């Protein structure tokens, strides 16, 4: 079935996602605050709407791909997106936002007579362009079933993780694994360097031993062993350090809200926040190896052997 889809937020992720839906034959009414994003979307077959509200008023499904929870909640409520839509419209928020904000967005949508699904993504801009994203969805079975045909255009895999907010919960848990494991891999390389071990030797062992993980074998933080990794391309993102810092910040918020302390998750959030504010601002998240190496060397005793 061809849906009329309102797509709000046509940035680095939303732009190609909206274009893929249009290419698949859906009528897509797109809106963004940035005129250049509107022009790019129009060239890609998206109908540019006059406003987010006018797009939502015509749609069966409203997809949002916005920077943070405050943008989603402000648009839904204060700016009147929920009020502008036809009763029973499905609101699918693909942004990465706080679990608490996702649950609030669900509640607001349902209170306004609509249906809602949180469906954050993994796969980055390349995945958005190629239509190979992974979706993590939270909401009811019926809502997930309604969104599934659209998600299958935009991605190669979708997992229904549970009720409202479960998609965001899965997203931040996954990225907490990723952030911690990138730090672990980076620290292992720094220790190996101090022990005179070559990067290639450590890679050859760990990549086929129990240290194997995505941060090592796909996004290896040191140049050499994995030719396609950002480390071999000046640490150009890839997955930008500020986005990792954002996601770990969301994980930290959820940890604090739940009154639990995972220790490494909170420490990873601190390390990435500091890195992203400094030299990591324009780098892939694997560039944190430099900050960790500097910190390790600064901590060495003056009569160290290196």
Q: Under rule CB under 6 A, which residues in 118-177 are in contact with ligand NAD?
A: 121, 124-125
Q: Which is nearer to ligand NAD, 55 or 112 (CB)?
A: 55
What distance separates the 2 farthest-apart alpha carbons in the chain?
72
- Decide: is 102 part of the binding site for ligand NAD (CB under 6 A): no
**Backbone torsions φ then ψ of 97, nearest 5 degrees:** -140, 170
Alpha helices in 131-240, H assignment, sequence order:
141-154, 166-194, 199-206, 214-217
Classify strands 121-122 and 133-139 as parallel, antiparallel or unpaired: antiparallel
Distance CA 206, CA 218 (A): 13
Of the candidates 230, 253, 235, 287, the residue with the CA atom closest to the CA atom of residue 96: 253
Structure tokens at 303: 């009569």
Q: Which is nearer to ligand NAD, 181 or 203 (CB)?
A: 181
Residue 84 backbone zone (phi > 0: left; psi -120 to 50: alpha; other: beta): alpha
Q: Under rule CB under 6 A, which residues in 27-66 are in contact with ligand NAD?
A: 31-34, 37, 52, 65-66
Q: How far is the CB of 210 from ligand NAD (least distance, A)?
A: 29
Q: Which is nearer to ligand NAD, 56 or 216 (CB)?
A: 56
Q: How far is the CB of 44 from ligand NAD (least distance, A)?
A: 14
Q: How far is the CB of 291 from ligand NAD (least distance, A)?
A: 21
Q: How far is the CB of 279 from ligand NAD (least distance, A)?
A: 20
> Catalytic site residues?
171
The size of the interface with ligand NAD (CB under 6 A), counted in residues, is: 25
Distance CA 106, CA 119 (A): 12
Q: Any bridge partners for residue 118, and if so which?
A: 93, 138
Binds ligand NAD by CB under 6 A, chosen from 6, 8, 116, 289: 8
Q: Under rule CB under 6 A, which residues in 71-90 are in contact with ligand NAD?
A: 71, 75
- Decide: is 67 part of the binding site for ligand NAD (CB under 6 A): yes
Alpha helices in 195-263, H assignment, sequence order:
199-206, 214-217, 241-258
Q: How far is the CB of 46 from ligand NAD (least distance, A)?
A: 13
Q: Which is nearer to ligand NAD, 119 or 206 (CB)?
A: 119
Output b/e per residue, 147-184; b: 16+ Cβ within 10 A. Answer: beebbebbbeebebbeebbbbbbbbbebbbbbbbbbbe
Binds ligand NAD by CB under 6 A, chosen from 4, 12, 148, 279: 12
Binds ligand NAD by CB under 6 A, chosen from 3, 5, 11, 189: 11
Q: How far is the CB of 53 from ligand NAD (least distance, A)?
A: 10
Q: Under rule CB under 6 A, which residues in 223-252 are in contact with ligand NAD?
A: 243, 246
- Decide: is 117 part of the binding site for ligand NAD (CB under 6 A): no
Distance CA 110, CA 108 (A): 6
Q: Which is nearer to ligand NAD, 48 or 264 (CB)?
A: 48
Q: Under rule CB under 6 A, which residues in 261-290 are in contact with ligand NAD?
A: none
**C-beta of residue 191 within 8 angstroms of C-beta of residue 211:** no
Of the candidates 83, 92, 230, 63, the residue with the CA atom closest to the CA atom of residue 160: 92
Residue closest to ligand NAD, measured at CB = 11
Interface with ligand NAD (CB under 6 A) = 8-14, 31-34, 37, 52, 65-67, 71, 75, 95-96, 121, 124-125, 243, 246
């Amino acid at each position: 079935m061809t849906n009329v889809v309102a797509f709000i937020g046509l940035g680095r992720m939303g732009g190609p996602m909206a274009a893929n839906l249009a290419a698949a034959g859906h009528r897509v009414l797109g809106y963004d605050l940035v005129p250049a994003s509107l022009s790019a979307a129009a060239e890609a077959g998206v109908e540019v709407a006059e406003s987010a509200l006018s797009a939502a008023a015509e749609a069966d499904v409203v997809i949002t791909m916005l920077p943070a929870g405050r943008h989603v909640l402000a648009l839904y409520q204060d700016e009147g997106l929920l009020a502008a839509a036809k009763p029973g419209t499905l609101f699918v928020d693909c942004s990465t936002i706080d679990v608490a904000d996702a649950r609030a967005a669900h509640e607001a949508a349902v209170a306004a007579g609509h249906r809602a699904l949180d469906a954050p993504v993994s796969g980055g801009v390349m995945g958005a362009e190629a239509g190979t994203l992974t979706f993590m969805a939270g909401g009811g079975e019926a809502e997930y079933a309604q969104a599934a045909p659209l998600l299958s255009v935009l991605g190669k895999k979708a997992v229904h993780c549970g009720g409202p907010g479960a998609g965001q919960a899965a997203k931040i848990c996954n990225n907490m694994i990723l952030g911690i494991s990138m730090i672990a891999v980076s620290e292992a390389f720094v220790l190996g360097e101090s022990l005179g071990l070559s990067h290639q030797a450590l890679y050859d062992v760990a990549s086929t031993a129990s240290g194997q993980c995505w941060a090592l074998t796909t996004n290896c933080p040191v140049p050499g062993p994995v030719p396609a990794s950002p480390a071999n391309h000046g640490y150009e993102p890839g997955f930008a350090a500020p986005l990792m810092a954002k996601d770990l910040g969301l994980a930290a918020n959820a940890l604090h809200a739940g009154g639990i302390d995972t220790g490494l998750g909170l420490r990873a959030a601190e390390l990435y926040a500091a890195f992203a504010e400094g030299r990591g601002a324009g780098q892939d998240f694997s560039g944190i190896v430099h900050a960790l190496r500097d910190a390790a060397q600064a901590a060495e005793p003056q009569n160290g052997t290196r």
